[in-house]
Chain A
Amino acid sequence: MSKKTTVKAGGKAAAGKTTKKAAKPAAKSTVKASKKATAPAKKKQSFGGLSEEILLRMHNLMVKSRVLEERLIKIYKAGEAYFWIGGPGEEAWGVALGMLARKGSGPENDWLHLHYRCTPTMVALGMDMIDSIRLMMNRATDPSTGGRNFSSHYCFPQWNVAPVTSPLEVQYPIACGTAHVQKRAGKGAISIVTGGDAGTAEGDFASCLILASRKGQELPMLITVQNNGYGISTPYEGQHGETNIADRAAAFNIRSRVINGNDPIETYLALKEEMEYIRKTGKPSFIEAKVTRLYGHSSADGANKKPHLFDPVLTFEKNLIDAGILDAKAAKKIWENYEAEGVSAQEQARQEPVPTPESVWDHVYVNSENADWRKF
Chain B
Amino acid sequence: MASIAQAIRMALHYGEANMGVKDIFGQDVGAPLGGVFTATQGLETAWNSTLDERGIISMAMGIAMGGDRCVAEIQFADYIFNTIDLLKIAGNTLWCTNGQIQLPMVVMTPVGAGIFGSVYHSHSFDAWASRLQGWKIVMPSNPLDAYGLMLSAIEDPNPVLYLKSKALMRHKGDELIPGEPADEKELKAMIDKPVQNSEGWKPRWPELEKYMVPIGKGKITHAGEHITVVTYSRMVHLCDEVAVKLAEEGISVEVIDLRSIYPYDWPMIKASIEKTGRVLFVNEDTEVTNFGEHLAYRATQECFYQLMARPRVLAGKNLPGIGLHPNLEKNSVPQIHDIELAIREVVAEVP
Contacts and interface: CB of A to CB of B under 8 A. Distances in A.
Nearest to A179: B62
B68 interface: yes
B335 interface: no
Contact of B66 (A178, A214, A364): A178
Contact-residue size bin, chain A (C-beta under 8 Å from the other chain): 35 or more
A172 B61 CA distance: 11
B37 to A, nearest CB: 24
Contacts of A181: 62-63, 66-68
Interface in A336-376: 362-371, 373, 376
A173 B97 contact: no
B52 A207 contact: yes
A177 B89 contact: no
B321 interface: no
A146 B61 CA distance: 22
B29 to A, nearest CB: 15
B67 A144 contact: no
Nearest to B266: A376
Contacts of A182: 66
Nearest to B52: A207
Contact of B101 (A107, A163, A175, A176): A163
Contacts of A55: none
A368 B98 CA distance: 10
A314 interface: no
A367 B67 CA distance: 17
A174 to B, nearest CB: 4
Contact of B50 (A155, A163, A167, A207): A207
Contact of B157 (A157, A176, A191, A366): A366
Contact of B63 (A142, A180, A210, A365): A180
Contact of B133 (A106, A149, A364): A364
Contact of A364 (B58, B67, B95): B95
B42 interface: no
Contact of A173 (B62, B93, B136, B263): B62
B237 interface: no
Contacts of A162: 65, 101
A144 B86 CA distance: 20
B264 interface: yes
Interface string A163-190: 1010100101111111111101000000
A351 to B, nearest CB: 20
Interface residues of B, number: 42
Given A181-B68, A207-B54, A211-B50, A176 B62 contact: yes
B97 A204 contact: no
A180 B23 contact: yes
A187 to B, nearest CB: 12
Contacts of B89: 165, 167, 170
B351 interface: no
A111 interface: yes
B225 interface: no
Contacts of B143: none
Contact of B158 (A191, A204, A365): A365
Given A167-B89, A180-B23, A366-B157, A211 B95 contact: no
A24 interface: no
Contact of A167 (B85, B98, B264): B85
Given A176-B62, A207-B55, A363 B94 contact: yes
A25 interface: no
B250 interface: no
Contact of B54 (A148, A173, A175): A173
A175 B94 contact: no
Contact of A204 (B58, B66, B67): B58
Which of A181, A191, A368 counts the most chain B CB atoms within 10 A? A181
A174 B96 contact: no
Given A170-B85, A177-B60, A364-B134, A144 B54 contact: no
A152 B64 CA distance: 23
Nearest to A375: B266
Nearest to B100: A157
Given A155-B100, A163-B97, A362-B99, A180 B62 contact: yes
A177 B59 contact: yes
A302 B295 CA distance: 47
A366 B134 CA distance: 9
B173 interface: no
A162 B86 CA distance: 15
A174 B58 contact: yes
Given A146-B98, A203-B54, A366-B94, A376 B264 contact: yes
Given A362-B99, A366-B99, 15 more contacts: A144-B97, A148-B95, A155-B100, A163-B97, A174-B58, A180-B63, A191-B62, A211-B52, A214-B50, A363-B99, A364-B95, A365-B94, A366-B102, A368-B99, A376-B266
11 contacts: A107-B67, A148-B98, A173-B54, A173-B58, A176-B58, A177-B60, A178-B66, A204-B54, A204-B58, A207-B54, A373-B263
Sort A-B residue pairs by CB-CB distance and give the 6 closest, nearest first: A177-B62, A146-B98, A181-B66, A173-B58, A363-B99, A207-B55
